């Protein structure tokens, strides 16, 4: 029983890691007032570019860098359309997702070696492997936390850093001001467009790294639609976390946990049909969303930044 | 001298036609550059895509086969977007509609007169699509739950539900384990007029025109537009916003549901893998490129269908990934979005002295 719980906890953390990267990224983007619905596309392109890089170079570090760069380019495009061109942010994000998923599957059929018909599908590359932290990994059950790969350990660091930066530094204060009331922030002398560009691109970088985690660690390799809607689940997780990085972990653990239970049940053989089991994360997302919105209405407290998805133009309301 | 943007009072007419056309050309150029990077000649690729999609009557009927669901989902999604209701669940609404039509075709047909089987299947499919879209609509109106996420999550649920049925409860017992239901009785087949192109085309065209008339010539249509553009004014004028949103989204979903019913009754004649081909997502591109105009959506749907068929063609002929067509489509929206600045705003060049005035 202990072994079972330990293994579920280990898989939960592994499955939750990519979600946490992306959730924190999107929290930062949305806090600046920019809604990016392109997550699914950015994660997919992050995943495919990371895997292609590691396959050809064997360097995991380079793979992460390439994924980060991919995320930067795509989110810079979203920032340009929503900030400079004042385009509709919902549609701009959707376009990134539509383009990203199409382009990722194009690359997956094109970037591979000729011996594999130019396909990336079915190839094996280097991957991140878990290693134990001496001593700590021997603790019963909780030891699972200290027997992960480096990407998960980094997450343990990112969460407090992201929280501290947002709530305890001047930059974090400015960021929140821009998302809450750009008029006031502008009057305070903060450059609205520049702030939004920075955090949209920072957010996109983390999101793409979340995608890279999938193809380098969680499910090493490339398959079409490797994200399976995680990019969308993350947008719900941002709402679930009330735009607070320190709460990003709970949602990620919840969904990581669902993945882990699916994994266990499918491995042991169950009478519940697979499609029904696979519906679980999507149904839970809807339920979580409804509950969160309901709680917010009851408390008369809105967690979303007031200027979210509203383009800013000086002197225009 | 510097440049400022001035909001236009009305959307520029010239830009309405110009922006989508230029966007399409830009997308061709960007994808062309991509093709050159992958050591492929863009001109031969595009010409074989064009021939593949429009080069002969047979090819064109295949384009029509894909255009029909795109027309219906495009018009449906466009209606929702007019309300600023981001229904991105057309894929799920299409699949759920297909499931409902299958249910009628397989299990109701023994109890219905044969002439009634097909109409019932189509009506039930549309109702089911509407119902599926109704879930995010009711949650949005009642509890202010974000409709984007709910409608999208329901895509996965509908696809998995369909899978559960054709792999499980509804699997053809004589199908030797092949995932799919048994073939529909002939009474539930929607007639084809050429190749696989079916009479759903005419229904889709008529519905698109009706939607245009309703939006532009009726009070309800006027209210819908007002709710989308200026909900405050709409409320003042006594429009029941919640009610108009729910009604419009039910109709929006019904369009996609009908598209799904056509797919099973006219194309596959059974429920099986391949009902969800992404039409519901391409519908977003169709609706936006048509600037939410239902009649324009009908034409854009044919163009987008052509890109999809052309993409399949270059895969067969040149060994390029079929996702080629989807990449082209995905690129169209970026210049479109950038261009929308010019339809809604006017560029104004101001000299130094005048700009100081403007700042005051």
Number of other residues whose CB lies within 10 A of the CB of residue A285: 29
Residue B164 touches chain A, beta carbons under 8 Å: yes
Closest CB from B161, B163, B331 relative to A99: B331
Q: What is the pLDDT of residue B357?
A: 42
Closest CB from B153, B288, B337 relative to A282: B153
In which residue are the tokens 């001035």 written? Answer: B6
Q: How confident is the model at residue A275 (pLDDT cuts 50, 70, 90)?
A: confident
Which of these, A284, A257, A287, A278, lies nearest to B168 by C-alpha position? Answer: A278
Residue in chain A closest to B162 (alpha carbons) equals A275
Best mutation target, A92, A95, A237, A273, to test chain B (most B CBs within 10 A): A95
* Residue B304, in any domain of the structure: no
Q: Which domains does chain A have, with CATH numbers?
A: 2-298 (1.10.3470)
Beta-strand ranges (E) seen in chain A are: 131-132, 147-148
Say how far apart CA A244 and CA A251 lie, in whole Å. 12
B163 contacts on A by Cβ (under 8 Å): 275
CB contact residues (below 8 A), chain B span 258-297, against chain A: 281-282, 284-285, 288
Best mutation target, B141, B320, B337, B344, to test chain A (most A CBs within 10 A): B337
Phi-psi region of B176 (alpha: psi -120 to 50; beta: other; left: phi over 0): left
Instruction: Kindly determine whether residue B329 and residue A98, on different chains, have CB atoms separated by under 8 Å.
Output: yes
- Mean of pLDDT over chain A: 91
CA angle A40, B164, A42 (to 5 degrees): 5
Residue B25 touches chain A, beta carbons under 8 Å: no
In what helix (H) or strand (E) does residue B7 lie, and over which residues does it extend?
A: strand B2-7
Q: What is the pLDDT of residue B11?
A: 65
Residue in chain B closest to A280 (alpha carbons) equals B157
Interface A–B counts its CB contacts (< 8 A) at 132
DSSP category for residue A304 = S
- Count Cα neighbours of A189 within 13 Å in the Cβ-side half-sphere: 0
Q: What is the pLDDT of residue B16?
A: 75
Residue A286 distance to chain B (closest CA, Å): 6
Instruction: Kindly determine whether residue A81 and residue B38, on different chains, have CB atoms separated by under 8 Å.
Output: no
Q: What is the pLDDT of residue B358?
A: 43
Which of these, B148, B71, B252, B145, lies nearest to A91 by C-alpha position? Answer: B148
Q: Is the pLDDT of residue A31 over 50?
A: yes
Structure tokens at A239: 């709402």
B88 contacts on A by Cβ (under 8 Å): 94
10-residue stretch averages of pLDDT, chain B, 360 residues long: 67 76 91 89 93 95 97 98 95 98 95 95 98 98 93 96 93 88 96 96 98 96 92 90 96 98 97 92 94 95 95 85 85 87 70 47
Q: What is the pLDDT of residue B108?
A: 94
* Residue B344, in any domain of the structure: no
A31-45, A278-292, B168-182 — most confident range: A31-45
Instruction: Kindly determine whether residue B160 and residue A235, on different chains, have CB atoms separated by under 8 Å.
Output: no
Say how far apart CA A162 and CA A167 lie, in whole Å. 9
* Residue B256, in any domain of the structure: yes
Q: How confident is the model at residue A3 (pLDDT cuts 50, 70, 90)?
A: confident
Enclosing domain of residue B251:
64-298
Best mutation target, B70, B321, B329, B346, to test chain A (most A CBs within 10 A): B321
SS3 of A24, please? helix
Closest CB from B38, B143, B344 relative to A297: B143
For A298, B105, B128, the CA distances from B62, given in Å and listed in that order, are 53, 25, 27
Best mutation target, B333, B342, B357, to test chain A (most A CBs within 10 A): B333
Residue B153 touches chain A, beta carbons under 8 Å: yes
* Residue B329, in any domain of the structure: no
Residue in chain A closest to B144 (alpha carbons) equals A293
* Residue B310, in any domain of the structure: no
Say how far apart CA A113 and CA A170 lie, in whole Å. 49
Is A188:A177 a contact under the CB 8 Å cutoff? yes
pLDDT tens readout for residues A78-102:
999 999 998 999 999 999 999 999 9
pLDDT tens readout for residues A215-257:
999 999 999 999 999 999 999 999 999 999 999 999 888 998 9
A95 contacts on B by Cβ (under 8 Å): 285, 330, 333-334, 337
Rounded mean pLDDT, A165-179:
96
Number of other residues whose CB lies within 10 A of the CB of residue A3: 9
For A51, A68, A206, B347, the CA distances from A25, given in Å and listed in that order, are 21, 12, 5, 34
Instruction: Kindly determine whether residue B329 and residue A276, on different chains, have CB atoms separated by under 8 Å.
Output: no
Say how far apart CA B140 and CA B136 lie, in whole Å. 6
Closest CB from A106, A278, A293 relative to B327: A106
A105 contacts on B by Cβ (under 8 Å): 321, 323, 326
Best mutation target, A37, A270, A279, A293, to test chain B (most B CBs within 10 A): A279
Q: What is the pLDDT of residue B359?
A: 42
Residues 6+ apart with CB under 8 A from B95: B155, B158, B159, B161, B162, B260, B275, B276
Closest CB from A106, A118, A229 relative to B323: A106
Q: What is the pTM of this model?
A: 0.92
Closest CB from B139, B153, B320 relative to A232: B153
Instruction: Kindly determine whether residue A37 and residue B148, on different chains, have CB atoms separated by under 8 Å.
Output: yes
A110 contacts on B by Cβ (under 8 Å): 38, 320-321
Closest CB from A118, A273, A285 relative to B164: A273
State how many domains chain B has: 1
B334 contacts on A by Cβ (under 8 Å): 77, 81, 95, 99
* Residue B12, in any domain of the structure: no
Q: What is the pLDDT of residue A157?
A: 94
């Amino acid at each position: 029983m202990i072994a079972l719980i330990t293994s579920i906890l280990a898989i939960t953390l592994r499955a939750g890691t990519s979600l946490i990267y992306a959730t924190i990224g999107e929290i930062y983007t949305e806090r600046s007032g920019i809604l990016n619905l392109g997550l699914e596309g950015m994660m997919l392109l992050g995943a495919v570019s990371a895997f292609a890089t590691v396959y050809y170079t064997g360097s995991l570090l380079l793979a992460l860098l390439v994924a980060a760069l991919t995320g930067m380019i795509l989110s810079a495009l979203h920032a340009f359309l929503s900030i400079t061109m004042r385009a509709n942010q919902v549609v701009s994000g959707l376009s990134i997702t539509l383009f990203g998923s199409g382009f990722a599957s194009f690359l997956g059929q094109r970037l591979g070696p000729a011996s594999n018909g130019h396909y990336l599908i079915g190839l094996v590359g280097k991957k991140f492997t878990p290693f134990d932290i001496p001593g700590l990994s021997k603790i019963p059950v909780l030891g699972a936390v200290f027997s992960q790969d480096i990407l998960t350990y980094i997450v343990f660091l990112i969460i407090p850093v992201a929280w501290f930066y947002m709530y305890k530094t001047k930059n974090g204060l400015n960021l929140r001001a821009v998302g809450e009331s750009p008029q006031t922030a502008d009057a305070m002398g903060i450059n609205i467009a520049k702030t939004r560009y920075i955090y949209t691109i920072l957010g996109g970088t983390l999101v793409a790294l979340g995608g890279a985690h999938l193809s380098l660690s969680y499910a090493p390799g490339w398959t079409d639609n490797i994200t399976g809607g995680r990019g969308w689940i993350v947008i719900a997780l941002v709402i679930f976390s009330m735009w607070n990085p320190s709460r990003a972990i709970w949602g990620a653990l919840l969904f990581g946990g669902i993945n882990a239970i699916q994994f266990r049940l499918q491995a042991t053989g169950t009478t519940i049909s697979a499609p029904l089991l696979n519906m679980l994360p999507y149904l839970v997302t809807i339920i979580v969303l409804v509950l969160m919105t309901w709680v917010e209405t009851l408390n008369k407290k809105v967690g979303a930044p007031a200027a979210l998805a509203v383009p800013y133009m000086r002197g225009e309301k | 001298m510097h440049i400022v943007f001035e909001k236009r009072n009305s959307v520029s007419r010239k830009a309405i036609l110009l922006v989508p056309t230029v966007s399409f050309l830009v997308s061709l150029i960007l994808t062309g550059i991509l093709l050159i990077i992958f050591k492929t000649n863009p001109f031969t690729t595009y010409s074989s895509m064009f021939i593949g999609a429009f080069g002969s009557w047979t090819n064109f009927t295949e384009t029509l086969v894909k255009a029909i669901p795109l027309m219906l989902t495009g018009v449906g999604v466009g209606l929702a977007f007019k309300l600023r209701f981001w229904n991105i669940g057309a894929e799920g609404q299409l699949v759920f509609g297909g499931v409902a039509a299958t249910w009628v075709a397989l299990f109701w047909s023994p109890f219905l007169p044969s002439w009634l089987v097909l109409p019932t299947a189509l009506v039930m499919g549309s109702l089911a699509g509407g119902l599926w879209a109704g879930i995010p609509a009711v949650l949005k109106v009642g509890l202010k739950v974000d409709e984007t996420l709910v409608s999208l999550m329901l895509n996965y649920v509908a696809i998995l539900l369909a899978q559960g049925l054709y792999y499980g409860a509804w699997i053809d017992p004589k199908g030797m384990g092949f995932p799919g239901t048994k073939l529909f009785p002939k009474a539930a087949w929607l007639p084809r007029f050429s190749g696989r192109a079916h009479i759903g085309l005419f229904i889709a065209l008529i519905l698109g025109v009706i939607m245009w008339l309703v939006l532009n010539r009726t009070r309800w249509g006027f209210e819908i537009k007002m709710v989308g553009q200026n909900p405050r004014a709409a409320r003042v004028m006594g429009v029941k916003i919640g009610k108009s949103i729910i009604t419009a989204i039910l109709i929006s979903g019904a369009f996609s549901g009908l598209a799904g019913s056509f797919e099973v009754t006219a194309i596959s004649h059974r429920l099986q893998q391949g009902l969800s081909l992404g039409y519901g997502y391409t519908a977003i591109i169709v609706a936006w490129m048509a600037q939410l105009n239902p009649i324009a959506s009908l034409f854009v749907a044919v163009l987008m269908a052509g890109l999809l068929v052309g993409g399949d063609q270059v895969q067969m002929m040149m060994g390029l990934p079929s996702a080629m067509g989807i990449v082209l489509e995905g690129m169209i929206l970026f210049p479109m979005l950038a261009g929308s600045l010019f339809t809604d705003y006017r560029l104004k060049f101001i000299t130094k002295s005048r700009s100081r005035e403007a700042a005051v």
